[in-house]
């Protein structure tokens, strides 16, 4: 096992997305509610976060995988020492303040900047990243809780660095959240008794904090079946009194810690509530609105998963690139017949270049998609949130983009990580390099917080269907505008032409699916994933062309140190339009020719 830090960040591209594409320095920073932070401060804090990620956080990446989680006699989960050290370093550097608003003692940074910090953390040590969830739980309680609940929990979570978790899944229900059977019995006021078993709870317990605050979905006695009957409860591991002080142990225990393929340092727990002592919780906001409230958490988690996939692919690509520039093996293909020909670095081989460009374009494309989405989130908050017509339109666009960020990034990320591993050959399969751990740690991303097909159904039935496709058409109009305004001039003429063709194919894809849905919604079940991936491929292609146009405009006056970066942006757009967008035509043909025959195959024939 290598002791060298594995993490290679891409702060230059991250700042390009924030400052040159989204232009947050002029459009977001310095404006309410982000008036307390300016561009210089953003650069300074992200540089500090980058340094922390590459050193203190990355230091326990391998240990988190190799040293198993343990449990003491009470069932508490014990983390590897190095991982606890990394978490302490994060909090000691006060990096948790980046995502907090001013009134909670934070920097008051916009969502795009907070997510930029998360990229650095998730790329350096994904197991560590999810142990930092407590700060977000404080934000949720601050937003949705009663005044008493805010006083009782929000400030204390931040001050005492408490942990947090979201507790949805049950063993028999799985992704069918509405089938959950955990029960809640009213004790008085906002206090309830909770009983039930929850499974696959990320960081449901760990010993690096003195308390963990769980947000638990449970069904009050007499409530309706399905998701509408669920309520959300604040359930601390150690009871917290009205003044925020710790009391007795609450009735939440870990009955099992899952043994997993990857991200092993993140404790995935089965939690039993109320079997060994009363488990008490407080009804969030004193309203029975659990699934809507929990979606604030679910959406955050889905965004985080997409960011994690992107961050992992980015560091994998940069590690593969470094290896390819140094590894000498084989002659140039043009001299392959000459046994005395000099050996060359593998980056000179066409196949390696093909793979590297694929990883580069996908990593940059995922980052472009993620930070386009975060900039939409910035604008929603600038407009004051719900109630403003323009803010509501942008919020619907954010909702539509989330399945792409989560579903597309996790699917394509897994494929591209295999390519990054392939670049370095057999060395990628052994633990001397981080690639095999990257693959194992990332695979979960297409599974949890809603599988890829759940994302596809959400996209088609809810995000597109709820307004008759208006939000989708508004997004595609942005693509059309980039084409019509001839962004990038002559430099990107061929790329805009490919983008226009891809847009036509995508419209054909939706037309074909809508026609087939008139026959049966089963067509969404069979073709939904293809549609989600096709939409994301087109949107990412558009973003890469936009980024290349910005780069082309910047090149004439660019510093020498930036010229290679900008040329690389143009190269990514050219590769994407030649190698990814043509695939939309095949997807369209497959959907047009599809039928329901897979459903007619007898089970005995499988």
Burial of 440 (0-12, 13-18, 19+ CB in 10 A): middle
Residues 531 and 579 occupy one common structural domain: yes
Choose between 385 and 269: higher pLDDT.
269
Asked whether residue 48 falls in the same domain as residue 126, the answer is yes
Same domain, 119 and 194: no
Q: Tens digits of per-residue pLDDT, 26-45?
A: 999 999 999 999 999 999 99
Residue 91 and residue 169 share a domain = no
Structural domain range at position 234: 162-288
Whether 152 maps to a domain, the answer reads no
pLDDT averaged over every residue in the chain: 96
Same domain, 135 and 166: no
Look at residue 411 in the predicted model and tell me its pLDDT.
98
pLDDT at position 386 is: 72
On whether residue 553 sits in a domain, the answer given is: yes
**587: in domain:** yes
Yes or no: say if 534 and 587 are a contact pair by the CB < 8 Å rule.
yes
As a whole number of angstroms, the distance between CA 103 and CA 604 comes to 62
Taking 90 as the threshold, does the pLDDT of residue 65 lie above it? yes
pLDDT value at position 180? Answer: 85
Tokens 């604040």 correspond to what residue?
A: 234
pLDDT digits (tens, 9 = 90+) for 337-357: 999 999 999 999 999 999 999
**Chosen domain end from 235, 258, 288:** 288
Whether residue 451 lies inside any domain: the answer is: no
Same domain, 213 and 253: yes
The helix/strand/coil state of 167 is strand
Q: Is residue 485 part of a domain?
A: yes
pLDDT of residue 177: 81
| pLDDT of the residue at 2 | 54
Residues that are catalytic: 449
Task: Give residue-wise pLDDT tens across range 558-582.
Answer: 999 899 999 999 999 999 999 999 9
Residue 5: the pLDDT is: 87
Shared domain for 137 and 250, answered yes or no, is no
* pLDDT mean over 400-408: 98
Same domain, 96 and 168: no
- pLDDT of amino acid 1: 42
Neighbours of 579 (CB within 10 A): 13
Q: In terms of domains, do 127 and 180 share one?
A: no
Q: What is the CATH number of the domain that holds 64?
A: 1.10.540.10
pTM to 2 decimal places: 0.96
How many domains is the chain partitioned into structurally?
A: 3
State the pLDDT at residue 381.
Answer: 95
81 falls within a domain: yes
For 178-220, write each residue's pLDDT tens digit: 788 999 999 999 999 999 999 999 999 999 999 999 999 999 9
**Taking phi first (over 0 means left), then psi (-120 to 50 degrees means alpha), and beta for anything else, what does residue 116 get?**
alpha
- Band of pLDDT at residue 3, cut at 50, 70 and 90: low
Same domain, 200 and 113: no
Contact present, 573 and 547 (Cβ < 8 Å): yes
Region 155-181: mean pLDDT is 90
Rounded distance between C-alpha atoms, residue 187 and residue 280, angstroms: 9
Asked if residue 310 has pLDDT above 70, the reply is yes
The C-alpha R_g of the chain, in whole angstroms, comes to: 25
């Amino acid at each position: 096992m290598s002791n060298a830090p594995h993490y290679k960040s891409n702060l230059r591209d991250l700042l390009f997305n924030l400052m040159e594409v989204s232009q947050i320095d002029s459009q977001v920073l310095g404006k309410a509610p982000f008036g307390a932070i300016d561009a210089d401060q953003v650069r300074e804090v992200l540089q500090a976060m980058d340094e922390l990620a590459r050193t203190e956080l990355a230091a326990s990446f391998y240990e988190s995988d190799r040293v198993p989680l343990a449990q003491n006699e009470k069932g508490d989960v014990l983390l590897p020492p190095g991982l606890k050290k990394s978490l302490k370093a994060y909090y000691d550097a006060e990096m948790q303040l980046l995502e907090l608003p001013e009134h909670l003692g934070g920097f008051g940074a916009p969502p795009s900047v907070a997510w930029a910090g998360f990229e650095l953390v998730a790329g350096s040590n994904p197991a560590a990243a999810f142990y930092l969830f407590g700060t977000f739980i404080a934000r949720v309680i601050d937003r949705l809780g009663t005044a008493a609940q805010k006083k009782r929990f929000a400030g204390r979570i931040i001050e005492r660095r408490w942990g947090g978790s979201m507790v949805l899944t049950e063993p028999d229900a799985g992704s069918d959240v509405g089938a959950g059977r955990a029960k809640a019995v009213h004790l008085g006021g906002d206090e309830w008794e909770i009983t039930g078993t929850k499974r696959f709870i990320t960081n449901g317990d760990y010993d690096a904090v003195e308390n963990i605050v769980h947000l638990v979905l449970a069904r009050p006695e007499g409530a309706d079946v399905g998701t509408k009957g669920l309520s959300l409860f604040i359930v601390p591991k150690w009871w917290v009194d009205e003044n925020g002080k710790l009391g007795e142990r609450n009735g939440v225990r870990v009955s099992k810690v899952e043994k997993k393929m990857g991200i092993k340092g993140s404790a995935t727990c089965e939690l039993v509530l109320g079997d060994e002592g009363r488990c008490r919780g407080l009804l969030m906001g004193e309203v029975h609105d659990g699934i809507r409230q929990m979606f604030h958490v679910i959406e955050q988690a889905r965004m985080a998963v997409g960011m994690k996939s992107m961050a992992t692919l980015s560091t994998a690509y940069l590690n593969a690139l470094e290896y390819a520039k140094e590894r000498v093996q084989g002659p140039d293909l043009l001299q392959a017949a000459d046994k005395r020909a000099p050996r060359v670095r593998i980056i000179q081989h066409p196949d390696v270049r093909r793979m590297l460009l694929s990883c580069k374009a996908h990593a940059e494309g995922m980052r472009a998609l993620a930070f386009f989405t975060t900039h939409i989130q910035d604008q929603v908050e600038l407009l004051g949130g719900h109630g403003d017509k323009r803010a509501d339109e942008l919020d619907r666009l954010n909702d539509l983009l989330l399945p792409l960020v989560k579903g597309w990034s996790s699917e394509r990320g897994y494929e591209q990580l295999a390519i990054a591993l392939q670049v370095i050959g057999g060395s990628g399969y052994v633990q001397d390099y981080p690639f095999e751990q990257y693959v194992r740690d990332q695979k979960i991303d297409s599974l949890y917080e809603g599988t890829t097909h759940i994302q596809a159904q959400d996209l088609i039935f809810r995000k597109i269907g709820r307004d008759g496709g208006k939000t989708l058409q508004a997004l595609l109009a942005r693509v059309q505008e980039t084409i019509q305004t001839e962004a990038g001039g002559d430099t990107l003429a061929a790329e805009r032409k490919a983008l226009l063709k891809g847009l036509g194919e995508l419209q054909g894809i939706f037309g074909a699916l809508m026609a087939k849905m008139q026959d049966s919604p089963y067509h969404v079940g069979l073709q939904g994933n293809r549609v989600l991936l096709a939409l994301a491929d087109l949107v990412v292609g558009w973003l890469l062309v936009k980024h290349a146009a910005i780069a082309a405009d910047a090149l004439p006056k660019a510093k020498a140190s930036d010229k290679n970066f900008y040329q690389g942006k143009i190269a990514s757009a050219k590769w994407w339009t030649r190698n990814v967008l043509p695939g939309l035509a095949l997807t369209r043909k497959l959907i047009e020719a599809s039928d329901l025959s897979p459903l007619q195959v007898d089970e005995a024939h499988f």
